[in-house]
Amino acid sequence: MSRRSGILEFAVLGLLRESPMHGYELRKRLNTSLGVFRAFSYGTLYPCLKTLVANGWLIEESGGGPDDALAAPLAGRRAKIVYRLTAQGKEHFEELLSQAGPDAYEDEHFAARFAFFGQTSRDVRMRVLEGRRSRLEERLEKMRASLARTRERLDDYTLELQRHGMESVEREVRWLNELIESERAGRDLRGSAADGSAPNSTSGETGGLPRHRDSTRPDPSDDTTT
């Protein structure tokens, strides 16, 4: 399985865990909710769905009510197929959620993993966030070293592009620092403890997104961080 197909399978399983969907609705959710999949087409999605069905992780059902099922053949159209997650598919997705290795914090996979942080345990979220931060800090050091070596040979526009790339990575590192701090403090989405009390490090599994004072939070799928 290629890395890109693995990311797509993960996202499809995660979306179908929320509710059954037909292919068009799935593609729309992938495009609008998970920006990393903007370039994916039906030609990519449907082979993925067939593979998941063959593995026993999804089942296909005829969509719509009885009248729709009768009307479709009469109109010369196929009834919509709805894809539903099986018990085995749910178990497989939960296994994928528990993984926090290097693939989880690479650029494209991190965006997909982050989209399902609400279903991920806090300890795994922390490992993924810290791994992502470490990877970006390494990238930032390389970018700074490269810029220092080549600064004199670059024209103004190329130099500005290099600086823009560095600023994008620096911004995401700051964002990750905020997320990690919130996770450690046990804060929920509103920046308070999950049980309504003062933040502490022993609270439960509720998510840890920080409250932002501005709109500078980076998109995890932003191409400028690559």
pLDDT given at position 18: 92
> Higher model confidence: residue 217 or residue 43?
43
How far is Cα 10 from Cα 106, in angstroms, rounded to an integer?
A: 14
Instruction: pLDDT band for 10, please (50, 70, 90 cuts).
Output: very high
Report whether 40 contacts 5 (CB < 8 A).
no
Give the number of other CB atoms < 10 A from CB of residue 217.
Answer: 15
Residue type at position 88: Q
Length of the chain: 226
Confidence check: pLDDT of 150 > 70: yes
pLDDT given at position 95: 95
Q: Would you give the DSSP letter of residue 119?
A: G
> Higher model confidence: residue 1 or residue 111?
111
pLDDT of 121-130, one tens digit each?
A: 999 999 999 9
Instruction: pLDDT band for 14, please (50, 70, 90 cuts).
Output: very high
Confidence check: pLDDT of 94 > 70: yes
Confidence check: pLDDT of 226 > 50: no
Instruction: pLDDT band for 154, please (50, 70, 90 cuts).
Output: confident
Give the number of other CB atoms < 10 A from CB of residue 193.
Answer: 18
Q: Span 39-55, mean pLDDT?
A: 86
- Return the structure tokens found at 191: 């920046």
Q: Span 143-163, mean pLDDT?
A: 90
Helix (H, G, I), strand (E, B) or coil at 83: strand
Apex 45 CA angle, 40 and 51, nearest 5? 145
Q: Span 205-218, mean pLDDT?
A: 51
Among the residues of 19-150, which ranges form H helices?
A: 23-33, 42-54, 66-74, 87-97, 107-115, 122-150
Give the number of other CB atoms < 10 A from CB of residue 107.
Answer: 17
Instruction: pLDDT band for 193, please (50, 70, 90 cuts).
Output: very low
